[in-house]
Structure 1
Amino acid sequence: MTALAEPAVPPTVPPRDQPVPTVPPVAAGGRPRWRRLPVIAALALATIAFLAPFAWLIAASLRPREYIFTTSFLPVPLRSANYHEAWTAVPMLTWLFNSVVVGVAAALAVTLSSAWVAFGFAYFRFPGRNLLFGLVLATMMLPFAVTMIPTYLIWSELRLVDTQVPLWAGNLFGSAFYIFLLRQFLLSLPREYFEAARVDGASYPQLFWRMAFPLIRPALLVTFVFEFKASWTDLIKPLIYLRDERLFTLPRGLKVVLDRFGYGGEQQWEIVLAGSVLATVPMIIIFFLAQRHFVEGIVTTGRK
């Protein structure tokens, strides 16, 4: 027996004299826009709270010495000559160049070495792989203070103290955190891609450079930016290994500025604050230039 078709119900149309009910605007996620106002307000307050110290730093760096420690966020009265004095009082350009060289070298070294190790853990299947990977992750539990003295003795025996080599050469052995990050990204790639390339005669280095490397580019950029920022703000290593002022990086140079013009010095805080702004602005520019790829890499890595 065939089921009888149900009669079509005509749509109900409101009378002409009755007003059509209005629907509140709906956001892209399917929720009314007014319900997102508390979230937007909370994010705005958090943004203001995070930006307030940096805004005060910029304002204070543009004031005369006697007005520096006021609570106002406006640089009144204005004195832009503080930046010229900070730039000429110390070799700021040399320190900036040293920080760029050391930061790029450290970021490239740890990105390439960690990617190569992560590819090995993600692609190859061998006995004890998980145990070995667990030992690599366990190294993250070691504080820097534990390995600081043995590492210094190694570089001292190699006669590389008072050079910039110890600031970046240790990254040639990879980093446990970045190995974990890149391995998780590599595990999200279909293994069939690599197996098909192996059938076509591709070697293991070709699998890495021609296939894996382009596919994990967002994660590599995240690793590069993370390590560049870590190297840019690192003060401990330059304090340990550098003696010559011409080799100082910006954090080590700012320590000199603080000792010379801040506490125990001439109390010229306008120079200290101006130097701090000069050291911070390059990282902000780099982040905004790589923001799209940076956020994409974090989101894509988190999908695993």
Structure 2
Amino acid sequence: MLENIKYLLIPHSRERYGIYPSVLKQVFGQLSRDVQIYIYFTILKLLITLIFLVGALGCELSESHSTATTVVLHCICMLYHEFKYKVELENYDKLNLIQFTMEQQGMNLEEILDRQQFNKVMMTVKKLIFSQCLDLNREQKYLNFLAQVIIIRFFILMLNSPFHFNILEYFQESCDADLLNVLLIIILLMFLEFILLYCLVFVLVIALPLLCCLSIYRKGKQLYSIRRLKKYLDSIPPHKYTGSDDAWMKEDKTCCICMQEYIQHESVLQLPCSGQHQFHELCIRNWFNVSTSCPICRQQLG
């Protein structure tokens, strides 16, 4: 048993995957190193939590002790899960099946040109390993759920505690302050593992409805400005174009919206913008169905 644990903990070179194509050697080796790093990190969390939990046993039993115990339980289960995953990475029968499956899918296992393709192969290999071992998939879901419960529970505990600007000494007024401050750091690290999930929940639950409300408000404000502008335009009498001698007519005798020259007796509307620009009455009214600015100088009129 101890020899197996030692074999799983000590890093090995990827030459042990010598029977596989070069890409799979790199993928299996990278996945193995990632698992070992995560195992070391979990062991470190477990030891730190246990040390400070023992130191806090002299205090009255509180939420900190139950939270620390839950973190210890999560670390132990996580170590068991990662050890099983590491064993699967050493199972040549299943790795041979993975190679066969990927070749059947037409993936090029001889040469990967960029990092994106390499990461895609890594994700494919990981999914195939978990699909071959349903226990790993189920355990990962349970462990993720337990971690999220710990995070939410601890954040609720923080809300009920006095706030301090020094995050490393957040619980400095309690007897078990050292344990709680260490748990705060550990749980913040756990939170970083799920931050993408929490960001997605934030977008779906909070940000998306706010954006929808903001969009509706802006659209409503624009429609209100358009209606108010149309009423204002109704109060402006249009000019009848009679020729180039009209005193109110500018030098340009062309409507810049439809790009047509004015014809005798056509209705021309002069805007109250700084340039007093002129357009066909029908053209400018259609323009103000979608905008509240002058088509030429872009001055807001709504």
Instruction: Report the TM-score range of the alignment, normalised by the length of the smaller protein.
Output: under 0.3
Higher RCO, 1 or 2 (CA under 8 Å, sep at least 6)? 1
Point out the structure with the larger strand share.
Answer: 2
The structure with the larger Rg is 2
- TM-score w.r.t. the length of structure 2 is 0.24
